């Protein structure tokens, strides 16, 4: 109850103040040591997979304009999206209009964009992508908000928009909607400082499905955690289709986040 009230007040203040400090400069870093934390045999495999993703998804721009951590995180998302698209046998139209619900500061937007553009299509597609973030004005210790960082991460991408508002259903507007690692358990949602009333029915429904699934993987280098293992895709007429049990896959990856 106290958490819920505290969260509601904090959230309302963030929405009122709408903190924008400018676009942070994210200096490029060398990618030479990307996998130096891995044992030698895993390092080689990671390198092979990274090179494959680099060429299939045209990652030159990201490679030359990103921190090492951010580049590795994007490799993680790309590996995951590539696998998810294949498992779900997604049909992506040549002119794709897509949305991403809850992108945080959109540190993975280049991976999502590249997956939509290049997955299973060497000629590339026309992509329009919109991110809807309900809590875009959360502020980091350096004073920049998620909104600010998102402006930096989307630089260089055409027809990509970050909307600092909650997603509302817009029938027929989007061909594909992604919701990546959403909060699907109320305890995680509250722990992160979101108000109780913002926990939407979709998330609750997904959480219900996830409850029965063992926690066997995580996207960070720490023990498995169910709330770190959720990847969900929406299609208009086929909500939650990737969370259906027969479509679920568990993924271990050399590109896990390093804490
Ligand atoms: C666990 S974070 C996931 C962030 C990101 N997608 C990732 O892969 O790391 C979930 C995000 O969804 C946002 N969110 C929850 N419900 C939303 C809604 N209906 N519309 C837009 N954003 C929402 C939250 O504010 C939070 O930033």
Give yes or no for a contact between 199 and 140, defined as CB atoms under 8 angstroms apart: no
Closest C-alpha to ligand 1, atom 24: 102
Q: Which residues pair with 127 in a beta bridge?
A: 96
**Does the pTM of the predicted model rise above 0.85?**
yes
Is residue 19 within 6 Å of ligand 1 at its C-beta?
no
Q: What is the number of other CB atoms lying within 10 angstroms of the CB of residue 163? A: 16
Ligand 1 center to residue 246 CA distance, Å?
Answer: 25
Ligand 1 center to residue 136 CA distance, Å?
Answer: 9
Ligand 1 center to residue 32 CA distance, Å?
Answer: 32
CA-wise closest residue to 128 among 100, 148, 105: 100
Q: Give the residue, out of 74, 81, 104, 139, with the most ligand 1 atoms within 8 A of its beta carbon, to mutate for a pocket test.
A: 104
Q: Give the residue, out of 76, 182, 188, 199, with the most ligand 1 atoms within 8 A of its beta carbon, to mutate for a pocket test.
A: 182
Predicted local confidence at residue 89, as pLDDT: 83
Do β-strands 160-163 and 231-234 pair in parallel, antiparallel, or remain unpaired? Answer: unpaired
Is residue 148 within 6 Å of ligand 1 at its C-beta?
no
Is residue 193 within 6 Å of ligand 1 at its C-beta?
no
Predicted local confidence at residue 205, as pLDDT: 76
Q: How far apart are the first and last CA of the chain?
A: 31
Long-range pairs for 168-175 at CB < 8 Å and ≥24 separation? 171/236, 172/236, 173/97, 173/99, 174/97, 174/98, 174/99, 174/236, 175/92, 175/93, 175/96, 175/97, 175/98
Is residue 167 within 6 Å of ligand 1 at its C-beta?
yes
Ligand 1 center to residue 228 CA distance, Å?
Answer: 13
**CA 242 centroid distance within chain:** 15
CA-wise closest residue to 177 among 246, 105, 116: 116
Closest ligand 1 atom to 179 CA: 6
pLDDT tens for the chain, 259 residues: list them. Answer: 678 889 999 999 999 999 999 999 999 999 999 999 999 999 999 999 999 999 999 999 999 999 999 999 999 999 989 988 888 888 899 999 999 999 999 999 999 999 999 999 999 999 999 999 999 999 999 999 999 999 999 999 999 999 999 988 787 788 888 888 888 888 888 988 889 888 877 777 777 777 666 555 566 666 666 666 677 777 654 555 676 666 777 777 888 888 7
Ligand 1 center to residue 112 CA distance, Å?
Answer: 15
Closest C-alpha to ligand 1, atom 15: 102
Is residue 131 within 6 Å of ligand 1 at its C-beta?
no
């Amino acid at each position: 109850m106290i958490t819920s009230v505290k969260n509601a007040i904090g959230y309302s203040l963030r929405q009122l103040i709408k903190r924008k400090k400018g676009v942070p400069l994210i200096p490029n870093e060398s990618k030479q040591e990307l996998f130096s934390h891995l044992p030698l045999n895993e390092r080689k495999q990671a390198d092979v997979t990274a090179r494959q993703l680099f060429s299939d998804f045209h990652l030159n721009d990201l490679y030359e304009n990103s921190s090492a951590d951010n580049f590795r995180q994007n490799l993680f998302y790309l590996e995951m999206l590539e696998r998810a698209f294949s498992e779900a046998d997604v049909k992506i139209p040549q002119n794709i209009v897509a949305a991403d619900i809850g992108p945080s500061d959109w540190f993975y937007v280049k991976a999502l964009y590249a997956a939509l553009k290049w997955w299973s299509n060497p000629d590339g597609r026309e992509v329009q992508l919109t991110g809807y973030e309900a809590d875009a004005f959360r502020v980091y210790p350096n004073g920049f908000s998620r909104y600010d960082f998102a402006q930096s991460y989307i630089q260089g991408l055409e027809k990509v928009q970050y909307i600092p508002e909650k997603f509302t259903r817009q029938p027929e507007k989007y061909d594909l909607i992604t919701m990546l690692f959403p909060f699907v358990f109320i305890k995680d949602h509250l722990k992160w400082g979101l108000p109780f009333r913002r926990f939407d029915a979709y998330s609750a429904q997904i959480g219900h499905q996830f409850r029965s699934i063992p926690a066997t993987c995580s996207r960070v280098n720490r023990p498995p955690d169910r709330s770190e293992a959720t990847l969900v895709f929406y299609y208009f007429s086929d909500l939650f289709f990737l969370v259906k049990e027969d479509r679920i896959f568990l993924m271990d990856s050399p590109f896990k986040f390093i804490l």
